[in-house]
Amino acid sequence: MNTIVETDGLGRDFKVRDGVRRRTVVAVERLSLRIEPGEAVGYIGANGAGKSTTIKMLTGILVPTRGTVTTCGLRPVADRRRLAREVGVVFGQRTQLWWDLPVRDSLRLLASIHSLGPAAERTRTDELVDRLELGEFLGTPVRQLSLGQRMRAEVAAALLHSPRLVILDEPTIGLDVLSKQRLREFLVAERRTHGTTLLLTTHDMGDVERLCDRILLVDRGSLVYDGTLAGLSRTVGAERVLVVDLATPTPDLVDVPDTRHLGSEGDGLRQRLAFDPDATTAARVLAALAGRTEIVDLAIEEPDVEEIVRRVYASRR
Amino acid sequence: MPRRDSNETRYVPVIVRTYLRLFVAGFRRQSTYRLAALGGLVANTTFGLLKVALLFAAVRTSGGELAGYDVAMMSTYIWISQGMLGSVNLHGRTEIADRIRSGDVAVDFLRPLDVHLASVTTEVGRAVFALIPRGVPSVVIGALLVGMALPDDPWAYPLGAVSLLLGIVVSATTVYLVGVCGFWLLETRGVAILYMVVSGFLAGLFVPIAMFPDWLRVVATVTPFPSMMMYPVDVLSGRVDGAAAVGLVALQVLWLAVTVTAGQLATRAGRRRLEVQGG
Amino acid sequence: MGDLAGLTAPYRAVLGSRIRAQRSYRTSFLLDLSSSVLVGLVELAEVWVVFHAVTELGGLDLAAVVLVFGLADLAFSLADLAFGHCDTLPTYLRAGTLDVFYLRPQPLLLQLVTSDISLRRLARAAVGAVALGVGLAVNDVPWSVGSVALVVLSLVSGVATFAAMFVWAAGAQFYLVDGAEATNAFVYGGRYAATQPASVWGRPLVVVFGFFFPMAFTAYLPVVTLLGLPGPDWMPGWLGWCAPLAALWAWALALLTWRAGVRHYQGGGG
């Protein structure tokens, strides 16, 4: 199997007009990376770090200023039309469906656009409708769908032609917990059954944790981390926070092993404890608490991608 | 709504200042579209030159004078009307129409401002600004390329300025009426298209109304459209002067009164309708 | 033939769905149709008012100018029907929806052109067709195989020329984006110019709308040739036969501009 994405010194500048003067903005500096078939890669970084620009260069929408890029063994700009058959892209913010047509019609049109045969079209549509649970709103015009429904339809639209590489740009943005959950489960299953390669940009830690086995972190157009999430958390110390609601007002829980007391509210009715998931577990912390006080409710806060990104950026400056 | 109490007297200047700010905001927003203004100028000039070719030929074929226009006066008509294009709404699309369709107008009703006046003021601010990148250059280009007639009577200038402003305001108050149809109609695009088709023609955009056959001229006169463009152009060019010019301005004031009254009534009725239907 | 069907299937599918979608909003569609008729009629009225005030203009009388109007307007409306929505490119560019076209395995321009069709412009074309029919009836047309060929050739070339104008404008939008009105000057100004007797134009207009954007070739020049009228000084009598050449030139201009525009979008702009 061939490498799915291979870039070498890939970079892109933009000329922007700043009043009368023109200046050059470097969106992507020099990016060299390889993505192998079947990988699931989270591409993260702050806004303006060059994520969208990279995606556009991988798919042939933008011509690189420097360096080389090969996607699915093709040159994206020169072989754009062949590449379109190998790649599916989901843009969280822009639609590829026809807003005034029912979902079913949009899928039919896309099947036609990608020249799927009748048999392939039926099998694949049935599979996607079933797994993404599109059945209940197949006949609804896209503009009447809820955001969660629309996103599932978008994913179906991007995956209809069974692309080898699926790129998802902020796929879960604005979705409720249940919709996120369904979408992630679908993507995991899709990858397992078809060996699809996933590349996604996201601000959502849940996406990264549940979908990606590798993370690429970009800062100001350069790659600053390439590895697992656990590794990244280790480098920047990604603490989790246990929030407990207690039955009675309690003095600050400052001496629980392996935790750090962050604060209390309402006379100590709600307290926040930070812990390092490598040093202890939420269960152990809870066990330590259980003997001392009655816990009514609890929640675990995870650092979001922004927080991790911020810490990485801070450590570099 | 302003509370009617002892604060009333202090309230008035505040209200004036608010509308002034709306006017300036409309003005400012336009200034960010410089490239658009340049594009508009190219379009204005091109259409102007085509009108010059056709209408000058018409004047010359009729022995140098047609419906009271000689070549120089025809040129004045063409370039002033082209210059007003960016300021007079002849396309029927307005922000208020969009806000009514999207339901955002409910928010506007919560503000202590008259929705009608606020919308018209913003539109007039936008329109007056458009005179700078579109109006003045059109007239200058026309004067340089083709030459223009100037009115003999010095009174034509101040009166013309008043008439021009009235034209812009009447255009804003009239097109507002198209927008508020949205309180009762699901889709105002049809009304806007109708407005677009009829307004340009009857405002005298392509052919001066004086060249219309009699019956068509009568039709035009009983609409507010000539007040938006034809009358200001006639006054500014000096084709109509003296008492007749004052008469045209009076006619504009009349149409202003009619359209403002209609706008106030429609806005109130629309608001009641919103309240009854719960937005 | 089977290959052709396969190749055109994606476009036919999209166009078919657009047509069904427009017809399904019946009231809105009827409204669009009638407003299109009205637009056509008012444009005809503008020409008529001028010719009502004078009997003859630039070598054309009212009958001849109706023929020019009919030919130009029918050609423009048909081009507008199929290519008019290329005007929406700036909206696509601003919203980023053009990127979606890049992800489909068809050429961009073909996707843009076949992304929609404005059936309501059929009503507008009907006005043009009626004007053309009336124009052919009221003028003293020397009917022969040659004159029929001239009318058909001019109409087909006219549609192609106006279509090229839309494509040219779309290509230029990649550079202008907010300056869409500048291209309107030549697309819609071109339509207006095409209904005029080109003999009244000064030199700059002859250069711009006579040859660079060959608007005079869509109706005026063929009509002068057809009716054997005295044309402008710069026109030999046979020039009316050159409408196909004008259409070829317009398409060359359009495709070069489009190509440059796409390169600009991928390379320079952001």
Mean pLDDT of B47-63: 93
DSSP code at position A38: T
Predicted confidence at residue B33, as pLDDT, reads 65
Predicted confidence at residue A220, as pLDDT, reads 80
- Look at residue C34 and tell me if it is in a domain: yes
- Look at residue C270 and tell me if it is in a domain: no
Angle at C87 between CA C83 and CA C90, to 5 degrees: 140
Taking 80 as the threshold, does the pLDDT of residue B132 lie above it? Answer: yes
CB contact under 8 A, C104 and A108: no
With beta carbons less than 8 A apart as the criterion, state whether C45 and B201 touch.
yes
Neighbours of A15 (CB within 10 A): 12
For the stretch B188-225, what's the b/e string if a residue is b when 16 or more beta carbons lie within 10 angstroms of its beta carbon?
bbbbbbbbbbbbbbbbbbbbbbbbbeeebeeebeeebb
DSSP string, A228-284: -HHHHHHHHT--EEEEEEESS-----TT-TTEEEEEEETTTTEEEEEE-TTT--HHH
Q: Between residues C20 and A79, which one has the greater pLDDT?
A: A79
CB contact under 8 A, A109 and C17: yes
Query: Please, which chains are in contact with A (at least 3 CB pairs closer than 8 A)?
Result: C
Share of chain C above pLDDT 70, in %: 98
| CB-neighbour burial class of residue C269 (10 A; exposed 0-12, middle 13-18, buried 19+) | middle
**For chain C, percent helix, then strand, then coil, each to nearest 5?**
80, 0, 20
Q: Is A27 on the interface with C (CB under 8 A)?
A: yes
Residue C154's alpha-carbon distances to A50, C84, C130, C158, C249, in angstroms, are 52, 20, 17, 6, 15
Tell me the two tokens of residue A196. 């699809």
CB contact under 8 A, C53 and B211: yes
Residue type, C95: A
pLDDT tens-digit map of A88-106? 999 877 788 988 888 999 9
With beta carbons less than 8 A apart as the criterion, state whether C228 and C90 touch.
no
Neighbours of A139 (CB within 10 A): 10
Mean pLDDT of chain B: 86
Angle at B127 between CA B122 and CA B129, to 5 degrees: 100
Taking 90 as the threshold, does the pLDDT of residue A310 lie above it? Answer: no
Chain C: residue whose CA lies nearest to A95: C97
Contact residues on chain C for A102, CB-CB shorter than 8 A: none
Dmax over CA atoms of chain A, in Å, equals 69
Tell me the two tokens of residue A233. 């958390």
pLDDT tens-digit map of A226-252? 988 878 777 776 677 888 888 888 888
Predicted confidence at residue A186, as pLDDT, reads 93
Query: Please, which chains are in contact with C (at least 3 CB pairs closer than 8 A)?
Result: A, B
Taking 90 as the threshold, does the pLDDT of residue C78 lie above it? Answer: yes
CB contact under 8 A, C28 and B53: no
CA-atom Rg of chain A in angstroms: 23
Predicted confidence at residue C256, as pLDDT, reads 97
Identify the domain containing residue C100 by its residue range. 2-264
Taking 70 as the threshold, does the pLDDT of residue C2 lie above it? Answer: no
**Contact present, B and A (at least 3 Cβ pairs less than 8 Å):** no
- Look at residue C96 and tell me if it is in a domain: yes
Mean pLDDT of B84-107: 87
Neighbours of B4 (CB within 10 A): 8
Nearest to B43 among C42, C46, C182 (CB): C182
Nearest to B42 among C28, C57, C185 (CB): C185
Chain C: residue whose CA lies nearest to B47: C189
Q: Phi-psi region for residue A290, left (φ > 0), alpha (ψ -120 to 50) or beta?
A: alpha
CA count, 13 A, side-chain hemisphere, C200: 25
With beta carbons less than 8 A apart as the criterion, state whether A239 and A274 touch.
yes
For the stretch A112-131, what's the b/e string if a residue is b when 16 or more beta carbons lie within 10 angstroms of its beta carbon?
bbbbbeeeebeebbebbbeb
DSSP code at position A74: B
Positive or negative torsion for Cα A109, A110, A116, A122: negative
Predicted confidence at residue A75, as pLDDT, reads 94
Residue type, A209: E
- The alpha-carbon gap from A305 to the nearest alpha carbon of chain C, in Å, equals 26
Angle at B37 between CA B35 and CA B40, to 5 degrees: 115
Predicted confidence at residue B28, as pLDDT, reads 63
- pLDDT tier at A177 (50, 70, 90 boundaries)? confident
Say what the alpha-carbon torsion angle C162, C166, C171, C174 is, to the nearest 10 degrees. 150
Comparing A226-230, B72-76, B187-191, the range with the smallest average pLDDT is B187-191
pLDDT tens-digit map of C144-175? 999 999 999 999 999 999 999 999 999 999 98
Helix (H, G, I), strand (E, B) or coil at A26: strand
Say what the alpha-carbon torsion angle A144, A146, A147, A150 is, to the nearest 10 degrees. -60
CB contact under 8 A, B62 and C58: no
Going by C-alpha positions, the residue among C243, C194, C238 that lies closest to residue C74 is: C194
Mean pLDDT of chain A: 87
Tell me the two tokens of residue A202. 């996201």
Going by C-alpha positions, the residue among C252, C247, C260, C111 that lies closest to residue C172 is: C260
CA-atom Rg of chain B in angstroms: 20
CA-CA distance, B245 to B223, in Å (whole number)?
A: 18
CA-CA distance, A12 to A91, in Å (whole number)?
A: 20
Chain C: residue whose CA lies nearest to B67: C53
Mean pLDDT of C230-252: 91
- Look at residue C250 and tell me if it is in a domain: yes
Predicted confidence at residue A24, as pLDDT, reads 86
- pLDDT tier at B184 (50, 70, 90 boundaries)? confident
Taking 80 as the threshold, does the pLDDT of residue A169 lie above it? Answer: yes
Chain B: residue whose CA lies nearest to C45: B201
Mean pLDDT of chain C: 90
Q: Between residues A262 and B202, which one has the greater pLDDT?
A: B202
pLDDT tens-digit map of A134-149? 999 999 988 889 888 9
Taking 60 as the threshold, does the pLDDT of residue B7 lie above it? Answer: no
Residue A233's alpha-carbon distances to A10, A215, B139, in angstroms, are 27, 11, 67
pLDDT tens-digit map of B200-238? 999 999 999 999 999 999 999 999 999 999 999 999 888
- Look at residue C256 and tell me if it is in a domain: yes
Taking 80 as the threshold, does the pLDDT of residue A1 lie above it? Answer: no
User: What is the count of residue pairs from B and C with beta carbons less than 8 Å apart?
Assistant: 110
Chain A: residue whose CA lies nearest to C108: A81
Nearest to C17 among A27, A59, A105 (CB): A105
Going by C-alpha positions, the residue among C215, C188, C241, C194 that lies closest to residue C65 is: C194
Helix (H, G, I), strand (E, B) or coil at C162: helix
- The alpha-carbon gap from C172 to the nearest alpha carbon of chain A, in Å, equals 18
Contact residues on chain C for A52, CB-CB shorter than 8 A: none
Contact residues on chain C for A109, CB-CB shorter than 8 A: 10, 13-14, 17
Predicted confidence at residue A18, as pLDDT, reads 62
- pLDDT tier at C70 (50, 70, 90 boundaries)? very high
With beta carbons less than 8 A apart as the criterion, state whether B83 and B134 touch.
yes
Taking 60 as the threshold, does the pLDDT of residue A11 lie above it? Answer: yes
ipTM of the complex: 0.90
Tell me the two tokens of residue B217. 């001229």
Predicted confidence at residue B6, as pLDDT, reads 43
Predicted confidence at residue A282, as pLDDT, reads 83
With beta carbons less than 8 A apart as the criterion, state whether C155 and C69 touch.
no
Q: How many domains does chain C have?
A: 1
DSSP string, C166-178: HHHHHHHHHHHGG
CA-CA distance, C51 to A18, in Å (whole number)?
A: 52
DSSP string, B105-128: HHHHHHSSS-HHHHHHHHHHHHHH
Residue C47's alpha-carbon distances to B57, B216, C140, in angstroms, are 13, 14, 20
Residue type, A89: V
Residue A183's alpha-carbon distances to A174, A180, A199, B154, in angstroms, are 13, 5, 15, 75
Predicted confidence at residue A195, as pLDDT, reads 92
Tell me the two tokens of residue C194. 């095409």
